[in-house]
Structure 1
Amino acid sequence: MHTSLVKEQDIRQPILWFYTPMSLPIAADVEPSLVVYDCMDELSAFRGAPPMLRERERELFARADLVFTGGQSIYEAKRAHHRSVHAFPSSVDAAHFALAREATTDPADQRDIQRPRLGFFGVIDERLDVELVARVADERPDFQLVMLGPVVKIDPATLPQRQNIHWLGQKSYQDLPAYLGGWDVAIMPFALNEATRFISPTKTLEYLAAGKPVVSTAIRDVVTPYGDKEAVHIADASSFVAAVEAALAQPTEARLAIADAMVSATSWDKTWRSMSKLMADALQAKRSAAVRTEGNVPCSTI
């Protein structure tokens, strides 16, 4: 949002919603009715993060009325920095990903890949444990690893190349259920490093909504609650293949019952209703405080 746009469109006291502290200068001259900092991750831990990001975040904490976090871990990391921090773990478009359960036709670039298929979709960057991907492929040459997503911040030449690893590139959101429908296990082979310390992967619920068994490394916001409730198999590098084998052998009916219970407990609509209430309450509190302040202005004695 540029100040010129605000003036041209006669926008008065907008709600400012920040996804990154680096956007602060853009709205420096805007007078908002409310400021929300939607903190989805610890961006300062990402490769190539701007050096001034932490300082900008301190400025944003000082300006924000509300802070929303994308998961429990990042909530615990941020709650000491602001008076009103609220955890909102990612939800899921359940109906969209449930289409995978009925998918009967493979996308063209997946059609000729043999089974069993282990699938992943997401950004392929420093958060992905590429050595683990290679290890799984080497330990089980019969497993076919289908990897979807753009390669960002890492050299594509460093990705392990095997006959049973298929780097298929970025796919549209609309096409994901069709790919998921042809997988036998959905995997989250994340590295355990600074960039993944606070992540709460949206794909966890998307995989479960698709009805797929899921295997993940020990990302904290996956272990609790998904691992604790046996919705996701948790493994390290040495046990990942065994966890995939266990996922493949798990009775479908029992697995789907657990997955459906977790998926049905959340929705983006529910998340937005909760956020909206917090915002309405914060706006009302600010208006009430302004009225009290105006009422306390001393009258002129002249």
Structure 2
Amino acid sequence: MTVVDIVCIGAAEWRGIWARAQQLMVRLAQRGHRILYVDPPITYLAPLKNRDLLQRRWQSAGRLEEVEPGRIWRLEPPIFLPFHGMRRSLNSMNQRRLGRSLRRRLGQLGWEQPLLWTYLPGSCDLLSAGIDWRYVVYDCVDDHAAFTGLIDPAVMADMESDLARRADAVFASARALQEKMRRFRPDVLLVPNAADVEHFAQAAGTAGDAAGLETTEGRKDSEDIGGVKDLKNGAGDLKNADYHREQKPADLPSGYRHIIGFIGGIGDWIDTALLAAAARAHKDWALALIGPVETDVTALQALPNVFFLGRKPYAVLPDYVRCFDVCLSPFRLNELTMSVNPVKVYEYLAAGKPVISTALPEVLPFSPIVTVCEGAEAFVASIETAFAEDSPEKQAERMALARQHSWDARLTAMLDKIGEGWGCV
């Protein structure tokens, strides 16, 4: 096998929600390749919306950090000009700026002809930014033109079609995205999301309740992902060695009959009305929400049995999921979510937990193992049924389904496709 240097343009921060890009890059590093992960850019307007970015990203723009010695590095890109999702000319200027930063860092690392693996349509202009890319991969995991905010859908679609045509390999995480990409790339390969099965299977022990949490035997304090130690902690600073896995996390609510859980970004794609309906229906249910809040959640904050726990390190997520009696995937049904293949569903299944989901096209094939429902009344009723009917047999069935969808298998399929045109990965 030839060692390949890979520049990954991520759609989420390396230390953000641990998802497809980080999972694949970690496994590529385990196979011997070297990874430079580029966090998504912020613009000069970003601190107006989120003051935290002044401290967390503004001062460190352009910084190169070694995450795993000799294997993985993280680059914070330069600050971008705003409105690059609305004007192709501005995107081109930003990508040239990023190209200059990358050329400097690639020289520092001694990388001469890297592979580009990108998740952002704007990378179309990075292909002309003075870097000799050995191979270009576009991994399409979102309908970018359907996002809200400072985006012109026509401009975004134009950039994405340009990138898809010029890439050497194109992947799609959902059938709707595959159909969309086929207009530009008939050879697009469908590669759905997956779970880190072994990691979340740790949550399959006895669930906690208001009285505490029983100890799960056979657990390790030090974890690996595909042989790369501690990289799961890239989502935060807490090391497994400092954390007793059998403990119930201290910030989980106590004194409730059941804990219903959600893990993920809470944006305008999440149906907060469904969550509120569940919390109002049963005051003895605690609703625990883990992840960054990026939309108006005033109605939920007003409910005493709803708890916003914020971001958590990836390493400790199984400890929270173990305490959930039911796990939720409450996406709104709209243009954006029609192409969502939710990672969280795979992770919940790997933990053996009952899963209640709205009727996303990508989730429907998992029914009835995943309970799919529409409307607040059905949503609440499905949670009630899950409490009453859960069993060890159903838990085993969920975990067996999850084992069919591992990140290692997904990466192998992608590398097989890349190997058809290159032959060295």
TM-score by length of 1: 0.86
Say whether residues 1:120 and 2:223 are aligned partners. no
Pick from 54, 79, 93: which aligns with 2:157? 54
What letter corresponds to residue 86 of structure 1 in structure 2? Answer: L
Structural mapping, 1:8-23, within 5 Å: 9=109, 11-23=111-123
Say whether residues 1:166 and 2:267 are aligned partners. no
Instruction: Flag the 1:13–1:148 CA change in 2: closer, same or farther, 3 A.
Output: same
Structural mapping, 1:93-172, within 5 Å: 93-102=196-205, 104=213, 105-152=247-294, 154-157=295-298, 159-172=300-313
The range that moved more, 60-69 or 154-163, is 154-163
**For residue 71 of structure 2, what is the aligned residue in structure 1?**
none
Alignment check: 8 A CA contact 2:203 2:351 kept = yes
Say whether residues 1:263 and 2:402 are aligned partners. yes
The answer for unaligned runs of 5 or more in structure 2 is 1-98, 207-212, 214-246
What letter corresponds to residue 165 of structure 2 in structure 1? Answer: A
Aligned equivalents of 2:198, 2:133: Cα separation in 1: 36
Alignment check: 8 A CA contact 2:352 2:396 kept = no
**For residue 330 of structure 2, what is the aligned residue in structure 1?**
189
**For residue 126 of structure 2, what is the aligned residue in structure 1?**
26
Pick from 323, 339, 344: which aligns with 1:198? 339
Larger Rg: 1
RMSD between superposed Cα atoms in Å = 2.0
What letter corresponds to residue 150 of structure 1 in structure 2? Answer: P
**For residue 297 of structure 1, what is the aligned residue in structure 2?**
none
What letter corresponds to residue 235 of structure 1 in structure 2? Answer: C
Instruction: Flag the 1:49–1:74 CA change in 2: closer, same or farther, 3 A.
Output: farther
The percentage of counterpart residues that share the same residue type is 34
Aligned equivalents of 2:313, 2:257: Cα separation in 1: 23
What letter corresponds to residue 78 of structure 1 in structure 2? Answer: M
**For residue 140 of structure 2, what is the aligned residue in structure 1?**
39
| Deviation digits for residues 22-77 of structure 1 (CA, Å, limit 9, x no counterpart) | 13333422232221101011121112153232221121022111111112332233
Aligned equivalents of 2:124, 2:332: Cα separation in 1: 31
Aligned equivalents of 1:47, 1:150: Cα separation in 2: 17
SS in 2 for 1:135: helix
Aligned equivalents of 1:137, 1:279: Cα separation in 2: 47
Alignment check: 8 A CA contact 1:43 1:49 kept = no
Aligned equivalents of 1:235, 1:156: Cα separation in 2: 22
Say whether residues 1:67 and 2:146 are aligned partners. no
Instruction: Flag the 1:132–1:96 CA change in 2: closer, same or farther, 3 A.
Output: same
SS in 1 for 2:257: coil
Structural mapping, 1:242-257, within 5 Å: 242-257=381-396
TM-score by length of 2: 0.62
* 1:21 CA drift (Å): 1.1
Alignment check: 8 A CA contact 2:253 2:307 kept = no
Alignment check: 8 A CA contact 1:22 1:56 kept = yes
Aligned equivalents of 2:135, 2:407: Cα separation in 1: 22
* 1:178 CA drift (Å): 0.8
SS in 2 for 1:234: strand
SS in 2 for 1:220: coil
What letter corresponds to residue 203 of structure 1 in structure 2? Answer: K
The answer for unaligned runs of 5 or more in structure 1 is 286-302
**For residue 190 of structure 2, what is the aligned residue in structure 1?**
87
